[in-house]
Structure 1
Amino acid sequence: MPVDLDHERISALLPHRHPMLLVDRVEAAVPGQSLEAIKTISASEPCYAGATGFDYPAGLLIESFGQAAALLWLISNPSAAGGLPMFAAARDCWIEARVRPGDVVRHLVRLEQVIDGAAFASGESRVGPRRVAAFASLMAVIKPSK
């Protein structure tokens, strides 16, 4: 069943809050398979305070993709939704192009495998037709809530 999540629903699923909630909308998702999310880059984000350059930080781009992957995992496994998703590892990830204020980043995430409280995802991030990042493997784990 396809899923579309607005900002309110994303906030209910992820523990992140401003300024670290880095997914604005999920436009399409097929639980257990794939998700398409967007992040709009704005010059008013805290990372640009006092900045002299306007390339979006690579670490925040990776975190935004990771949050999109966590959303896919959480909507695919409702039992995981009670825990805290935590980034564990990344392998073979490339930042291929600059991302700047005004860009709309589209994360295309695939859920590769879920094993004993760990999830593996892959995918890419695009700005329009241009690929800006590729992710061969991201791993996350769920820390159970107490």
Structure 2
Amino acid sequence: MRERLDHRGVRGKLPQRHPLLLVDQVVELRAGESIRTRKAISGTEPCYRALPDDAAPESYAYPLSLLVESLGQSAALLWLEGQGEAVDESSALLFTGARGLRMLGAAYPGDVLEHTVELENVIAETVFARGVSRVGDRTVLTAESLIAARRPRTAMGPPDHQDHDQRGI
């Protein structure tokens, strides 16, 4: 088991950068088995930029798409750590799907999400995992299946159409 991976270490493993890097730290990792990560939600994130000052409190719920992406990035960290490598420029990680998503609550600015992901199977360059996101002792999201794949960048089209700041999982 590896102790912790700070934000610098997370950046060294994943290709995402601000504002799409949605994992702040790895709290616990069992290579090839499971990972526990954290993501602090801030009211200064881009998803809150257009909210008016008089927005209803429920308007501040963290978007489901970002919750799922953060959980997916946690799964990618688990997969990559088990392989002992980071994403290089010749390949891309793609979050290809999620099944059995259940939104059980909401997270808001000031909350710290804790994701737990368990690896189920790796077939060739495709990974299957399941996960749970919590705020404290409250479960906000469950995913029966998270699916990601690594593909050569050359298989994804001409390089001039790739946005290197917002690629991959």
Q: TM-score when scaled to structure 2?
A: 0.82
Counterpart-to-counterpart distance in 1, 2:32 and 2:131: 14
SS at match of 2:60: coil
Instruction: Determine if contact 2:14/2:86 at 8 Å carries over to the other structure.
Output: no
Question: How far 1:143 moved relative to its partner?
Answer: 1.5
Question: How far 1:77 moved relative to its partner?
Answer: 1.3
Counterpart-to-counterpart distance in 2, 1:137 and 1:119: 10
Instruction: Determine if contact 1:3/1:30 at 8 Å carries over to the other structure.
Output: no
Counterpart-to-counterpart distance in 1, 2:101 and 2:74: 15
**1:109 matched residue in structure 2:** 117
Question: How far 1:35 moved relative to its partner?
Answer: 0.2
Corresponding letter in the other structure for 1:73: W
For the aligned residues, what is the CA RMSD? 1.4
2:64 to 58, 62, 74: 58
Q: Which runs of 4+ in 1 moved over 4 A?
A: none
Question: How far 1:2 moved relative to its partner?
Answer: 2.2
Instruction: Determine if contact 1:66/1:87 at 8 Å carries over to the other structure.
Output: yes
Which segments of 5 or more consecutive residues in structure 1 lack a partner in the other structure? none
SS at match of 2:127: strand
2:143 to 118, 135, 139: 135
**2:46 matched residue in structure 1:** 46
Q: TM-score when scaled to structure 1?
A: 0.94
**1:100 matched residue in structure 2:** 108
SS at match of 1:72: helix
Counterpart-to-counterpart distance in 2, 1:80 and 1:129: 32
Q: How many residues align?
A: 146
Identity %: 44
Which segments of 5 or more consecutive residues in structure 2 lack a partner in the other structure? 155-169
